[in-house]
């Protein structure tokens, strides 16, 4: 198991999931090599729930980084990132972003962002102001 997978499983233990019981941990490596982690945290107002992946991206952004080089997501059943998270990831990564899913037994499967979000609403398709 690689370093990011161990970190994702470690932070998964800190997830706050009293409503769904679905704990998620995420660890990403930025283009500069820095590592950021996140765990999901639920809220009774379900729309206010924050996914682990977006939590890790937020930590990366607040440190001044904007490019994701690698992502690992740990769940009990190796579930993929949700659609909202995939869209957020596409803002800060290329379609060939390696995404590793890890289940509760430590089994890993390798994917890319394009496999999960083949026709992303990409920043490159929209006129940017900067």
Active-site amino acid positions: 53
DSSP character for 58? H
Q: Answer for the pair 55, 26: CB distance below 8 angstroms, yes or no.
A: yes
Q: Find where tokens 């996140």 sit.
A: 38
Burial class (CB in 10 A: 0-12, 13-18, 19+), 10: middle
Report which of 72, 63, 78 is spatially closest to residue 98, judged by C-alpha positions: 72
| CA distance linking residue 117 with residue 49, whole number of Å | 21
- What are the backbone dihedrals phi and psi of residue 16, each rounded to the nearest 5 degrees, phi first? -110, 100
For the chain, the residue count is: 130
């Amino acid at each position: 198991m690689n370093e990011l997978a161990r970190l994702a499983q470690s932070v998964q233990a800190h997830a706050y999931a009293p409503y769904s019981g679905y704990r998620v941990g995420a660890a990403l490596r930025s283009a500069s090599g820095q590592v950021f982690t996140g765990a999901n945290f639920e809220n009774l107002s379900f729309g206010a729930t924050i996914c682990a992946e977006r939590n890790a991206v937020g930590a990366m952004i607040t440190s001044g980084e904007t490019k994701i080089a690698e992502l690992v997501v740990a769940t009990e059943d190796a579930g993929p990132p949700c659609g909202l998270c995939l869209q957020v990831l596409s803002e800060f990564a290329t379609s060939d972003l390696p995404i590793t899913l890890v289940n509760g037994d430590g089994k890993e499967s390798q994917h890319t962002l394009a496999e999960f979000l083949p026709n992303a609403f990409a920043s490159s398709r929209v006129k940017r102001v900067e």
